[in-house]
């Protein structure tokens, strides 16, 4: 069984149909990349996986998404639990204007963990997993805002990891970063897939081919092609995929 299954998913913002009959299986301990030109529905699809679109007025969804075989849109499904199990990292690092420590402890605290020694452990584990511990371990009381962009993004990854999610959604996590920070995040993501299931939107073709196991190519709300990254990049089946990855449009 796949970690996440998407079946005949359709989504409308008002009258505008942003996702058209999407089918996709996302495997555990793999990195799945979403690629495609601006406005084709990548972020929309990503946000469906932790029900972030519930917050958008006028957004209507039909179809099925399952997590471990359970329909996440069924009426009595616990969305708070879903968001704990499926974490998210955004394009622009968005740490809270709090200390490094409090950024990481925030999620666990909202889930009722208040014991100092437990929080200390979680903060250290999360920062280590996000490969930023060595850079901040002596400055945990420092404001997160004072970190560099690349450090802030790894902090945000640590914050996502602090509640022990199973799936991590990343929407262009490196697009605001320099090449060195980007490389660090890519190495980190590859390391994290041993423990997590990762879905990542990227505009960077090299990044998709370097890090992902599966790639989905989106075009105007449809998934044109979905499969092994190696195949998508070496012998795409659809002419439109080939045109996109070779830079002929988008």
Ligand X SMILES: Nc1ncnc2c1ncn2[C@@H]1O[C@H](COP(=O)(O)OP(=O)(O)OP(=O)(O)O)[C@@H](O)[C@H]1O
Whether residue 25 contacts residue 4, with contact meaning beta carbons closer than 8 Å, is answered with yes
Q: Least distance (Å) from ligand X to the CB of residue 11?
A: 8
d(CA 175, CA 104): 23
User: In the stretch 61-80, what mask flags binding to ligand X with x, by CB under 6 A?
Assistant: --------------------
Q: 34 vs 101, which CB is nearer to ligand X?
A: 34
Q: 11 vs 136, which CB is nearer to ligand X?
A: 11
How does DSSP classify residue 140?
T
Whether residue 168 contacts residue 88, with contact meaning beta carbons closer than 8 Å, is answered with yes
Q: Least distance (Å) from Mg ion to the CB of residue 22?
A: 15
Binding positions for Mg ion, rule: CB under 5 A: 43
| Residue 18 binds ligand X (CB under 6 A) | yes
| Choices 1-9, 24-32, 40-48, 122-130 (CB under 6 A): range interacting with ligand X | 40-48
User: In the stretch 217-236, what mask flags binding to ligand X with x, by CB under 6 A?
Assistant: --------------------
DSSP characters over 101-158: HHHHHHHHHHTT---HHHHHHHHHHHHHHTT-HHHHTT-TTSBGGGS-HHHHHHHHHH
| Residue 43 binds ligand X (CB under 6 A) | yes
Q: What are phi and psi of 88, to 5 degrees?
A: -140, 140
Q: Return the structure tokens found at 165.
A: 């999610």
> Hunting for tokens 């208040």 — which residue is that?
114
| Residue 170 binds ligand X (CB under 6 A) | no
Q: What strand order describes the sheet that includes 16-26?
A: 16-26, 4-13, 59-67, 70-71
| Choices 38-46, 61-69, 160-168, 230-238 (CB under 6 A): range interacting with ligand X | 38-46
Q: Least distance (Å) from Mg ion to the CB of residue 91?
A: 7
Binding site for ligand X (CB under 6 A): 13, 16, 18, 36, 38-44, 56
């Amino acid at each position: 069984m796949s970690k996440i299954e998407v079946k005949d998913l359709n989504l409308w913002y008002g009258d505008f149909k942003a996702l058209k009959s999407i089918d996709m299986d996302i495997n555990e301990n793999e990195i799945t990349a979403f690629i495609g030109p601006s406005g084709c529905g990548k972020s929309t699809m990503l946000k469906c996986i932790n029900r972030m679109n519930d917050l958008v007025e006028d957004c209507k969804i039909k179809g099925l998404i399952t997590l471990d075989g359970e329909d996440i849109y069924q009426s009595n499904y616990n969305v708070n639990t879903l968001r704990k199990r499926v974490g998210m990292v955004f394009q622009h690092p968005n740490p809270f204007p709090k200390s490094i420590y409090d950024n990481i402890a925030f999620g666990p605290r909202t889930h009722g963990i208040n014991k100092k020694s437990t929080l200390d452990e979680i903060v250290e584990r999360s920062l280590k997993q996000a490969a930023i511990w060595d850079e901040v371990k002596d400055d945990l009381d420092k404001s997160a805002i004072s970190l560099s962009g690349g450090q802030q993004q790894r902090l945000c990854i640590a914050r996502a990891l602090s509640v022990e999610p199973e799936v991590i959604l990343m929407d262009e996590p490196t697009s605001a970063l320099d090449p060195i920070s980007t490389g660090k995040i890519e190495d980190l993501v590859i390391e994290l897939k041993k423990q997590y299931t990762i879905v990542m939107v990227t505009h960077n073709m090299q990044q998709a081919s370097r890090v992902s196991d599966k790639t989905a190519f989106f075009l105007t709300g449809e998934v044109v092609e979905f499969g092994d990254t190696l195949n998508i990049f070496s012998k795409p089946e659809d002419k439109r995929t080939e045109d996109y990855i070779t830079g002929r449009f988008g």
